[in-house]
């Protein structure tokens, strides 16, 4: 099997499991317990938090461990919006992850005014559009670092600077960007950031929420006051240790990955009739190549590819099984039927070029078979 769905999830790295193992067994303590068993767990949790803070170039007390990207997005958007005294106006983009869009929609039902910024055909937010949307009562701007379906990278530092001039906190969903792009929160100019572990070789069910120390945050979970009062509940020490280890191992030079990605894209566009690249041609994640194949069915192509030993997806795993066209692609100007022909290939630095070559060969055959059978979305 050739696995090209890393944007959905990645396997647990052996080095991460080895770091986690003691806290799944002998060092089982509750970090809130005031005895040696608990103190041992507390030391491990504190060390993990400090390691994450080094990667983000922030203070350790600005790092909160969560259950994943979805919780981090919800906690940042709802928490900051409900705590900020300056107003009740939110700004986001039309291609955000559902965790962001539905959080904003929820706040809209509570009386917040919401501005949704449109994107261009490559998925980019226009900084001028953000500047025009900012108001005196804007509470928060939330724009993703890189898109989970097409891989387009946003100019976060430029966008956050516009918000900063107006004194507006800026949150970015960095779930897909982590491991590929720089996460220095000072350079990015963000006051809040969401990261998910299982995109990086950590286990599922662990994430990170960075919130700048002076940014007000109303917690979503109340109870024991863990995580400096920002997220009550006994901490998942083993997974926090794994999260920190995975984040530390991620990254590195991606030049070769970009070269492999571009060769794969070039071949698909040359050999598959009618294939269209989605997302920005160059401002895209190194391990993401996404296409639409008008006149076909994305679902049928995926089934053909899986039968041929290639596993990938049509877009966000969170929207799998939906009959609705991708909101990302429709926002980028692709009509409904075309948006339902999407196929996304996502991979890591260690994905062999031979696997991408094989995937391209099988994709050509799969699309040809779907066209031969006349399967298409209408």
Burial of 323 by CB count in 10 Å (0-12 exposed, 13-18 middle, 19+ buried)? exposed
Structure tokens at 324: 């609705």
Can you tell me the distance from the alpha carbon of 312 to that of 315, in angstroms, rounded to the nearest whole number? 9
318 tagged catalytic: yes
Could you tell me the sign of the dihedral formed by the alpha carbons of 116, 119, 125, 129, in that order? negative
How big is the chain, counted in residues?
Answer: 378
Q: How many CB atoms lie within 10 A of CB 54?
A: 12
Query: Among all chains, which residue has been given the structure tokens 């009386």?
Result: 111
CB within 8 Å of 284: residues ≥ 6 apart? 146, 150, 151, 152, 153
CB within 8 Å of 56: residues ≥ 6 apart? 62, 63, 183, 184, 185, 193, 210
Measured between its terminal Cα atoms, the distance across the chain in Å is 31
Can you tell me the distance from the alpha carbon of 346 to that of 264, in angstroms, rounded to the nearest whole number? 11
HSE-CB for 54 with a 13 A CA cutoff: 11
- SS3 of residue 66 by DSSP: strand
Can you tell me the distance from the alpha carbon of 64 to that of 80, in angstroms, rounded to the nearest whole number? 14
- Three-class DSSP labels, 2-27: EECECCCCCCCCHHHHHHHHHHHCCC
The secondary structure of residue 209, as a DSSP letter, is E
Q: Measured at the alpha carbon of residue 153, what is the angle toward residues 147 and 158, in degrees to the nearest 5? A: 125
What are residue 91's phi and psi, to 5 degrees?
A: -130, 130
Out of 131, 165, 318, 373, the active site residue is 318
Can you tell me the distance from the alpha carbon of 324 to that of 332, in angstroms, rounded to the nearest whole number? 15
Structure tokens at 115: 């501005």
Q: What residues act catalytically?
A: 318
């Amino acid at each position: 099997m050739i696995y090209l769905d890393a944007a959905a999830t990645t396997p647990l790295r052996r080095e991460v499991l080895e770091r986690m193992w003691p806290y799944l067994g002998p060092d089982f303590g509750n970090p809130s317990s005031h005895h040696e068993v608990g103190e041992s767990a507390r030391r491990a949790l504190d060390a993990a938090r400090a390691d994450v803070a080094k990667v983000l170039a922030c203070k350790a007390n600005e790092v909160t461990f969560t259950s994943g990207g979805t919780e981090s997005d919800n906690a940042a958007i709802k928490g900051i919006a409900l705590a900020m005294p300056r107003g009740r106006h939110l700004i986001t983009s039309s291609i955000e992850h559902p965790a962001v869009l539905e959080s904003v929609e929820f706040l809209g039902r509570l009386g917040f005014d919401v501005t949704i910024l449109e994107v261009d055909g490559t998925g980019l937010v226009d900084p001028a559009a953000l500047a025009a949307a900012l108001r005196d009562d804007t509470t928060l701007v939330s724009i993703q670092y890189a898109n989970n379906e097409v891989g387009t990278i946003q100019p976060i530092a430029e966008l956050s600077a516009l918000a900063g001039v107006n004194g507006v906190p800026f949150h970015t969903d960095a779930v897909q960007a982590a491991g590929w792009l720089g996460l220095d929160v000072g350079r990015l100019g963000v006051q809040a950031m969401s990261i998910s572990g299982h995109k990086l070789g950590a286990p599922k069910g662990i994430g990170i929420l960075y919130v700048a120390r002076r940014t007000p945050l109303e917690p979503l979970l109340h109870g024991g006051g863990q995580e400096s009062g920002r997220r009550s509940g006994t901490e998942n020490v083993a997974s926090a240790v794994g999260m920190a280890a995975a984040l530390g191992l991620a990254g590195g030079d991606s030049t070769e990955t970009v070269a492999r990605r571009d060769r794969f894209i070039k071949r698909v566009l040359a050999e598959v009739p009618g294939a269209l690249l989605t997302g920005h041609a160059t401002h895209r994640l190194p391990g993401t190549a996404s296409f639409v194949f008008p006149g076909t069915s994305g679902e049928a192509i995926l089934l053909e590819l899986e039968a041929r030993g290639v596993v990938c997806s049509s877009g966000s795993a969170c929207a799998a099984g939906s009959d609705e066209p991708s909101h990302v692609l429709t926002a980028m100007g692709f009509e409904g039927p075309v948006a339902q022909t999407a196929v996304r290939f996502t991979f890591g630095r260690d994905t062999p070029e031979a696997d991408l070559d094989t995937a391209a060969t099988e994709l050509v055959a799969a699309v040809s078979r779907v066209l031969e059978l006349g399967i298409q979305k209408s």
